[in-house]
């Protein structure tokens, strides 16, 4: 007998095909079973979405399922629920989110290939457990762990850099894994390359207990085969720990018992294309769905999470998380003293003030290391001609191309367009074209000049290195450079925010931040939050070795034209709470998130007016609904970088005091937008970004 089943396949969000498709099969399959189905002229992977016979459709000629990927458990009901929620919340199709959450290779396997794959031997679980020496917990760590064991959470672990948060994750994980021999835990990190220590520490702790195969990673750096194998290890329950980036929030883990989100404030938890989900927010939802504890950890929490962890008040959102505090550094390592250099009192065009240079020399002389942070890569952001005013604009974008001296190229960081630097000004022929402003590449060069005469204790020249997206483009290069730093083969490390993240540099005693002022007056209301967090993170790289910081008190230097700014005052006190309350007060007064909820609708078109016309037409269409649900829809505006790769970009902000009303509005409006699209042929694509991070 033939049954009709609902099968979810990957349909593009805008294809107009609704949700699950109906196929026939000679038996009923459990919901969550993976199948192969014909779709148009191809065959594709599908997920059985409901085990009941689909509503019988008699008027259609239905096609049959061509294969079942059997011999493994179906995807779980909570997993399917998570996917449905994510699709609905971020205004995408369920099929898109569901299939994107599975490894690519799985999508291409035939049933025969699948069965061969399953037959291959997997790492055996035969492993003799050996013991691991655990450090004695500090009182703060013990207190926090007691709270985790006795409360439901979700938790926001607010702990200084070096306060021992990772040890808390490890202990909480171990407790769960020991209590239930099947339990699995999910640990999420922003960018795996930047936090290699975390993976190493989880391995060192748990491999002796349960073997190497107990932990798998999930991130975009894996080969398709690795991703497939790791996914399968998680899905079958063989892997007890999954450590991964944002995509790991969708890992199929049938025995999930704990979720940890490290550095929860990090913007890379937000997916920036397709379904623009926040993996942190989905982790909270998943925890709720599966009755699993969630621990968010950070030294500088996002203001959303900070607000959610405030004592319950009348204010929406407050009281949702339990805030756990770990203010002290392990071994009483002191946080660096913050010194501000007032650049108004320095000679014009000073890059390194003399007192900072002197401090750097002293550190290097004592065999210590220095970090110099400048969040702009390349040699100079613009090349210009003083005679005629020509600037190195990108012909395809409304942005300047960045001068990279190392290969004498002008490269657009938005569309990738690159050309050799012209010999003379392309506009007037002047031979004297020069860089304007500076990036890390120039900083490294300039520093080498300034310290040219300076010698290390053993008499050699000072060793300067640079880490940024350019210096680490080749595979393995970042690891190598970090290893040099750890081995003490570098005295001064220049870099972008890449050097500020979780590295445990033991001999860094001075961190300098150059030119942070841009973010103080940015039009993006989240810029100060990001800057504060970056500077706190960077400061946290210094003084991680308590012995070192006793003999040589560590320091963070900030060169700024606004030394009195409240942000730097709070930084000086290492007072995140004060900074957060200030910011939240401003946001409350301006009705900004977390006190309101936002979405952006973006449109790309051949002309700016076509993009804006589409958005404004959509706005008119939504008028009555917006009034009814008390949603504000603002007029369309060009995006900050209006043109990228010859595509004009516009956006429109949607804002509401209620998350629920906003959701209701978006789901109704979205359907209208799909139909409207036909009348706007010049629109290349459009998308909704719910809870956008950059406006």
Give the residues lining the site for ligand ADP (CB under 6 A).
135-138, 141, 159, 161-167, 330, 504
Of residues 365-394, those binding Zn ion (CB under 5 A) = 385, 387-388, 390, 394
Angle between helices 659-676 and 608-621 (to 10 degrees): 120
Binds 428: which of ligand ADP, Zn ion, none (CB < 5-8 Å by kind):
Zn ion
Per-residue tokens: 616? 């404004």
Q: Which is nearer to Zn ion, 68 or 388 (CB)?
A: 388
Rounded to the nearest 5 percent, the helix, strand and coil shares of the chain are 35, 25, 40
The gap from C-alpha 60 to its chain's centroid, in whole angstroms, comes to 44
Residue 260 interacting with Zn ion (CB under 5 A): no
Residue 595 interacting with Zn ion (CB under 5 A): no
Per-residue tokens: 64? 């049959």
- Judged by CB under 5 A, the number of residues near Zn ion is 15
Using CB under 5 A, which of the segments 157-165, 224-232, 405-413, 439-447 binds Zn ion? 405-413
Residue from 132, 428, 461, 590 that binds Zn ion (CB under 5 A)?
Answer: 428
Closest CA to 500 of 484, 487, 511, 488: 511
Residue 571 interacting with Zn ion (CB under 5 A): no
Binds 162: which of ligand ADP, Zn ion, none (CB < 5-8 Å by kind):
ligand ADP
Binds 396: which of ligand ADP, Zn ion, none (CB < 5-8 Å by kind):
Zn ion
Q: Which three-class secondary structure string do you get for 428-444?
A: CCCCCEEEECCCHHHHH
Rounded to a whole number of angstroms, the minimum distance from the CB of residue 391 to Zn ion is 10
Instruction: Tell me the C-alpha distance between 170 and 374, whole Å.
Output: 33
Q: Is 299 in contact with 502 (CB distance < 8 Å)?
A: no
Binds 414: which of Zn ion, ligand ADP, none (CB < 5-8 Å by kind):
Zn ion
Using CB under 5 A, which of the segments 212-220, 252-260, 412-420, 501-509 binds Zn ion? 412-420
Residue 398 interacting with Zn ion (CB under 5 A): no
Rounded to a whole number of angstroms, the minimum distance from the CB of residue 432 to Zn ion is 9
Q: Which is nearer to ligand ADP, 165 or 404 (CB)?
A: 165
Instruction: Tell me the C-alpha distance between 595 and 681, whole Å.
Output: 37
Residue from 39, 83, 275, 412 that binds Zn ion (CB under 5 A)?
Answer: 412
Q: Which is nearer to ligand ADP, 265 or 384 (CB)?
A: 265
Q: Any idea what DSSP says for residue 274?
A: S
Distant-in-sequence, close-in-space partners of 4: CB < 8 Å, separation ≥ 6? 22, 23, 24, 53, 54, 55, 56, 57, 62
Cβ neighbour number for residue 386 with a 10 Å cutoff:
12
Instruction: Tell me the C-alpha distance between 383 and 400, whole Å.
Output: 8
Using CB under 5 A, which of the segments 45-53, 421-429, 624-632, 675-683 binds Zn ion? 421-429
Rounded to a whole number of angstroms, the minimum distance from the CB of residue 64 to ligand ADP is 53
For 216-228, the DSSP string reads EEESTTS-HHHHH
- In the sheet where 215-218 sits, what is the strand order? 215-218, 241-244, 184-188, 256-262, 293-298, 155-159, 322-326
Binds 164: which of ligand ADP, Zn ion, none (CB < 5-8 Å by kind):
ligand ADP
Q: Which is nearer to ligand ADP, 161 or 663 (CB)?
A: 161
Q: Which is nearer to ligand ADP, 332 or 589 (CB)?
A: 332
Rounded to a whole number of angstroms, the minimum distance from the CB of residue 329 to ligand ADP is 8
Angle at 356 between CA 355 and CA 358, to 5 degrees: 65
The gap from C-alpha 665 to its chain's centroid, in whole angstroms, comes to 27
Binding residues for Zn ion, rule: CB under 5 A, are 385, 387-388, 390, 394, 396-397, 412, 414-415, 417, 425, 427-428, 430
């Amino acid at each position: 007998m033939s049954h009709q089943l609902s099968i979810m396949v990957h349909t593009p969000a805008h294809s107009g095909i609704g949700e699950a498709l109906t196929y026939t099969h000679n038996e009923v399959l459990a919901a969550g079973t993976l199948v192969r189905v014909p779709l148009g002229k191809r065959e594709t992977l599908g997920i059985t979405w409901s085990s009941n016979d689909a509503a019988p459709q008699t008027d259609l000629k239905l096609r049959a399922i061509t294969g079942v990927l059997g011999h493994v458990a179906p995807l779980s009901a909570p997993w399917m629920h998570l996917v449905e929620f994510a699709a609905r919340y971020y205004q995408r199709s369920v099929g898109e989110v569901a299939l994107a959450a599975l490894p690519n290779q799985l999508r291409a396997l035939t049933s025969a290939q699948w069965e061969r794959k399953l037959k291959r031997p997997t790492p055996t679980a035969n492993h003799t457990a050996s013991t691991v020496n655990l450090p004695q917990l500090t009182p703060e760590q013990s207190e926090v762990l007691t709270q985790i064991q006795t409360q439901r959470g979700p938790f926001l672990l607010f702990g200084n850099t070096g306060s021992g948060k990772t040890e808390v994750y490890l202990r909480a994980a171990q407790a769960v894994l020991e209590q239930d021999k099947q339990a699995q835990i999910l640990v999420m990190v922003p960018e795996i390359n930047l936090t290699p220590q975390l993976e190493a520490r989880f391995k060192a702790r748990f491999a002796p207990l349960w073997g190497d195969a107990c932990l798998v990673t999930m991130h975009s750096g894996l080969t398709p085969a690795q991703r497939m194998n790791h996914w399968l290890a998680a899905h079958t329950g063989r892997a007890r720990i999954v450590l991964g980036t944002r995509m790991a929030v969708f890992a199929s883990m049938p025995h999930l018992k704990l979720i940890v989100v490290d550095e929860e404030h990090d913007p890379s938890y937000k997916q920036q294309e397709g379904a623009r989900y926040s993996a942190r927010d989905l982790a909270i939802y998943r925890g709720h769905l599966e009755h699993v504890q969630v621990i968010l950890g950070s030294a500088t929490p996002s203001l959303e999470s900070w607000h959610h962890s405030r004592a319950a008040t009348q204010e929406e959102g407050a009281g949702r998380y339990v805030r756990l505090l770990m203010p002290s550094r392990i071994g009483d390592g002191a946080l660096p003293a913050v010194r501000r250099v007032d650049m108004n009192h320095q000679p014009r065009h000073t890059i390194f003030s003399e007192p900072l240079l002197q401090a750097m020399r002293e550190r290097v002389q004592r065999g210590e290391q220095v970090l110099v942070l400048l969040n702009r890569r390349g040699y100079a952001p613009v090349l210009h001609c003083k005679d005629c005013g020509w600037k190195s604009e990108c012909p395809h974008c409304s942005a300047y191309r960045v001068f990279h001296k190392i290969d004498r190229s002008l490269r657009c960081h938005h569309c990738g367009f690159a050309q050799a630097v012209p010999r003379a000004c392309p506009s007037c022929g002047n031979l004297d074209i020069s860089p304007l402003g500076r990036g890390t590449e120039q900083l490294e060069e300039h520093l080498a000049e300034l310290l040219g005469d300076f010698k290390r204790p053993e008499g050699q020249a000072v060793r300067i290195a640079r880490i940024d997206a350019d210096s680490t483009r080749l595979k393995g290069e970042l690891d190598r450079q970090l290893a040099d730093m750890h081995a003490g083969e570098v005295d001064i490390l220049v870099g972008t925010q890449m050097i500020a993240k979780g590295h445990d540099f033991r001999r860094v005693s001075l961190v300098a931040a150059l030119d942070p002022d841009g973010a103080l007056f940015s039009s993006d209301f989240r810029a100060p939050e990001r800057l504060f967090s970056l500077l706190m993170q960077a400061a946290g790289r210094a003084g991680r070795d308590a012995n070192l910081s006793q003999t040589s008190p560590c320091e963070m230097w900030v060169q700024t034209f606004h030394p009195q700014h409240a942000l730097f005052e709070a930084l000086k006190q290492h007072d995140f709470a004060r900074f957060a309350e200030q910011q939240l007060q401003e946001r409350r007064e301006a009705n900004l998130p977390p006190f309101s909820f936002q979405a952006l609708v973006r449109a790309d078109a051949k002309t700016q007016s076509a993009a804006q016309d589409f958005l404004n037409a959509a706005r008119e269409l939504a008028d009555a609904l917006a009034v009814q649900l008390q949603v504000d829809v603002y007029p369309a505006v060009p995006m900050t970088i209006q043109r990228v790769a010859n595509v004009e970009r516009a956006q429109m902000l949607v804002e509401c005091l209620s998350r629920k009303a906003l959701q209701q509005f978006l789901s109704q409006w979205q359907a209208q937008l799909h139909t409207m699209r036909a009348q706007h042929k010049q629109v290349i694509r459009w998308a909704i970004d719910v809870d956008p991070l950059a406006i």
